[in-house]
Amino acid sequence: MSEIKKTMLSVDGNTAAALGSYNYIEVAGIYPITPSSPMAENIDVYASQGRKNFFGSVVKVSEMQSEAGASGAVHGVLQAGGLAATYTASQGLLLMIPNVYKWVGELLPAVLHVSARSLATRSLSIFGDHQDIYAIRQTGIAMICSHSVQEIADLTNVAHLTAIDAEYPVCHFFDGFRTSHEIQNVEFIDDNEWKKLLPMDKVEKFRARALNPQSHRSC
């Protein structure tokens, strides 16, 4: 058995999430909010560099007018048979809740990466806690938590692979500021190893059931 190729990089949590997430998506619907903004920014940088995802294409990045718009864009892309993700935190995540219910109800493989942060309730707060992700438990979305930058590097891939294989949306979250901005030496498994695990049969099944006006003849 050949040894799995690995690379050591010094990165923070947001960068680790962006590096893994980019490979599995065709569209990123984004809107910046602290402390998740670097994830979307990195996705945009990789796209501007012409980096290819696992499907051989460059990710299309669409910055919307709000987090509600970003989650709505992700919803539309998924309905049309494209793989998409978004990145957010705090109040931004609350604005996405209506669309999260739709992702769950329509069995769409959306992936939501969250740098968890407190909500601005009585006053503006940017403390790191889990108020935001606890607010979406009732939607039924699957949830995966990373406790370190190394776990983010690994579980980001797991989140996308799970969403595609299970045909179900996944929220991957980690501590805002504490883990999102902490720089660690991280062992990255070679992208080709992760690509071997990509269930292309499920990808094709997902695309085949997409809403497509060209696939129906008028009566």
Q: Determine how many CB atoms are found less than 10 A away from the CB of residue 5.
A: 11
Give the residue with greater pLDDT, 78 vs 125: 78
Q: What is the dihedral of CA 134, 61, 211, 208, to 10 degrees?
A: -100
Query: Is-contact 141 135, C-beta < 8 A?
Result: no
Given pLDDT bands bounded at 50, 70 and 90, which one contains residue 219? very low
**Ranges assigned E (strand) in the chain:** 6-11, 27-30, 60-63, 84-88, 111-116, 142-145, 170-175, 184-189
- Whether residue 123 is predicted with pLDDT greater than 80 in this model: the reply is no
Predicted local distance difference test score (pLDDT) of residue 2:
66
Tell me the β-bridge partners of 63. Answer: 30
- Whether residue 184 is predicted with pLDDT greater than 60 in this model: the reply is yes
Residue 183 to residues 19, 35, 52, 149, 195: CA-CA distances in angstroms?
A: 14, 14, 25, 8, 26
Predicted local distance difference test score (pLDDT) of residue 200:
96
Write the pLDDT tens digit of every residue in 31-41: 999 999 999 99
- Whether residue 140 is predicted with pLDDT greater than 70 in this model: the reply is yes
* CATH number among 1.20.1300.10, 3.40.50.970, 3.40.50.410, 3.90.870.40, domain 18-119+126-199: 3.40.50.970
Predicted local distance difference test score (pLDDT) of residue 1:
52
Predicted local distance difference test score (pLDDT) of residue 128:
81
Average pLDDT over residues 67-79: 96
Average pLDDT over residues 60-64: 95
**Angle at 149 (CA atoms; ends 71, 93), nearest 5 degrees:** 20
- Percentage of the chain exceeding pLDDT 90: 87
Residues 6+ apart with CB under 8 A from 37: 14
- Domain residue spans of the chain: 18-119+126-199
Q: Determine how many CB atoms are found less than 10 A away from the CB of residue 98.
A: 13
Query: Is-contact 118 128, C-beta < 8 A?
Result: yes
Write the pLDDT tens digit of every residue in 141-177: 999 999 999 999 999 999 999 999 999 999 999 999 9
